[in-house]
Amino acid sequence: MTKATPANQWKRVIVKLSGEALMGDSQHGLDAPVLARIARDLANAAATGVEIGVVVGGGNFFRGIQGADKGIERARADAIGMLATIMNGLALEQAIEAQGRQARTLSAVPMPSICESYSRRAALHHLAKGRVVICAGGTGNPFFTTDTGAVLRAAELSADAVLKATQVDGVYTADPKLDPSARRYDTLTHDEAIAKNLAVMDTAAFALARENGLPIVVFSIREEGAIAATLRGAGRATYVAP
């Protein structure tokens, strides 16, 4: 399998950013220095001329799947989780603009008094203007993860790749934090990722990426400049492609 095409040929990418990435070493909420670092990385990546979309999660505030433990039915809990992603999107939007780069939060859950509603046309317009587009609110429907939402937006917006930002530098045979013998994959196919039940993304996301021929690059967001480095094809990462 050939590695995903590097930035000199990528024109548009979707960065999947977890809510947990925004809380740094805290247990909850937003970590201001981490938020600023990631915003700077996104702004610098957009400055290379690649159109940057971001799908952000909400796990630093609330994860829908955890609602059952709190006595909340799944559909309602997922709605709360979608609102958490919008909170993160708005914070990220301001942090990116503080870096001198325009950004727009587009929400799949309409709330026009706070941010624009998501539409393909609006997203493509802002991307063409060089703005970082933050897609919040998941897909707008319960029972879908933001991983699946990221691949959906990438396919819908004709992106060249999904960059999955994680806390580790790729996909491993086991959790490297728990298993010192875990081995990192350099490359995988979508079929292999599904067959091995690798937990870095859910099966629906991998299947949708496979159907649309979308490569997924899994890399660590913990280092300064990680997104721009991944766009250059530098640094450690796992490439998941057809």
Secondary structure letter of residue 172 according to DSSP? B
pLDDT at residue 124, as a whole number: 98
Among candidate residues 12, 7, 42, the one with its CA nearest the CA of residue 231: 7
What are the tokens at 89?
A: 């999107």
pLDDT at residue 179, as a whole number: 87
The full set of domains in the chain, from first to last, is: 12-241 (3.40.1160.10)
Burial of 116 (0-12, 13-18, 19+ CB in 10 A): middle
The 3-state DSSP composition of the chain as helix, strand, coil percent (nearest 5) reads 40, 20, 45
Question: In this structure, are residues 84 and 97 in contact, taking their beta carbons and an 8 Å threshold?
Answer: no
Asked which of 13-17, 53-57, 171-175, 184-188 is least confident by mean pLDDT, the reply is: 171-175
- How confident is the model over 68-104, as pLDDT tens digits? 677 899 999 999 999 999 999 999 999 999 999 999 9
Burial of 212 (0-12, 13-18, 19+ CB in 10 A): middle
What is the identity of the amino acid at 100? Answer: G
CA count, 13 A, side-chain hemisphere, 158: 6
- How confident is the model over 175-228, as pLDDT tens digits? 888 888 889 999 999 999 999 888 788 899 999 999 999 999 999 998 899 999
* pLDDT, mean of residues 37-66: 92
CA 209 – CA 214 distance, rounded (Å): 5
Question: In this structure, are residues 73 and 151 in contact, taking their beta carbons and an 8 Å threshold?
Answer: no
* pLDDT, mean of residues 223-242: 89
- Give the DSSP H or E segment for 92: helix 74-98
Would you give the distance in Å from CA 95 to the centre of its chain?
A: 17
pLDDT at residue 123, as a whole number: 98
**pLDDT > 80? residue 48:** yes
* pLDDT, mean of residues 161-169: 93
CA 198 – CA 173 distance, rounded (Å): 8
Write down the pTM of the prediction.
0.92
What are the tokens at 60?
A: 């630093």
